[in-house]
Amino acid sequence: MEQKRDLLKWQWPFFLIFFVINFAGLMATAYYGKDELHLHFNEIYHNTIGDYFFKYYTDVATTYVLIITLLYILWKGTWKHFIFLGSTAVVSSIVSSFVKRTFFVHGHRPTHYFELKEIKLRLVEGVQSQIPYTFPSGHTVLAVIICFYLCTQTTNRIVQVIICLLMGLVAIGRVYLSKHFVIDTIGGSMLGLFFAILGYYLIWNCSNEKLNRKIIPARK
């Protein structure tokens, strides 16, 4: 990342794809309704390849990518990179959990929600069902933050687009696995974007030169 840039102009692929994905989700939710959209998606789009892919993808693309990226920053990067990504990920996760457990404690995950309505979903074998705390999607929060950070680390627009599309797959995967409704992933996206931008302006644009130091100084 570089300081004092017009963020929207600099990272327009990220913001454009973020807007398109979330606007499409909002439009679909408004058109079908929360319940019907999930049932429609669950009935039509399940297949063997998708089951196997999404069973592992959403965790790998968030938790594991975050850990690997932070370890790489520890090895090669500066304190600014580490604090930016680490703090935004941790704080956003804490806030996401707080919102779930305080304001949406009675919001059930799709599996339990439809079970109470005696509607059977197509579920992926080996994926554990959950009951409470559906809004917002914590995986989507992390996906947006990781995507934002990785996009700032390359000037290749094609690579940025690919990263953003992979971010979108996390949201799709959470719905595919019936871990969340579409609206939950939209809420997670908005929360992730808020903390990514907040971290950018509070940490990345900080003038403290100590933040630009290597975590592991180069050997002389």
Which tens digit of pLDDT belongs to each residue from 81-127?
Answer: 898 999 999 999 999 999 998 888 888 899 888 888 888 888 888 88
Q: Residue 143: is its pLDDT beyond 90?
A: yes
Which tens digit of pLDDT belongs to each residue from 3-33?
Answer: 456 888 889 999 999 999 999 999 999 999 9
Alpha carbon distance 189, 193 (integer Å): 6
Concatenated DSSP letters of 107-167: ---HHHHHHHTT------TTPPP--S--SS-HHHHHHHHHHHHHHHT---HHHHHHHHHHH
Per DSSP, the three-state class of 214 is strand
Structure confidence at residue 220 (pLDDT): 56
- Averaged pLDDT, 134-162: 94
Q: Residue 65: is its pLDDT beyond 90?
A: yes
What CATH architecture is 7-212? Answer: Up-down Bundle (1.20)
Structure confidence at residue 2 (pLDDT): 46
Over the chain, what is the mean pLDDT? 89
Structure confidence at residue 210 (pLDDT): 78
Lowest average pLDDT, out of 30-39, 133-142, 156-165, 203-212, goes to 203-212
Which tens digit of pLDDT belongs to each residue from 50-62?
Answer: 889 999 999 999 9
Q: Where are the domains of the chain?
A: 7-212
- Averaged pLDDT, 117-141: 87
- Averaged pLDDT, 198-219: 79
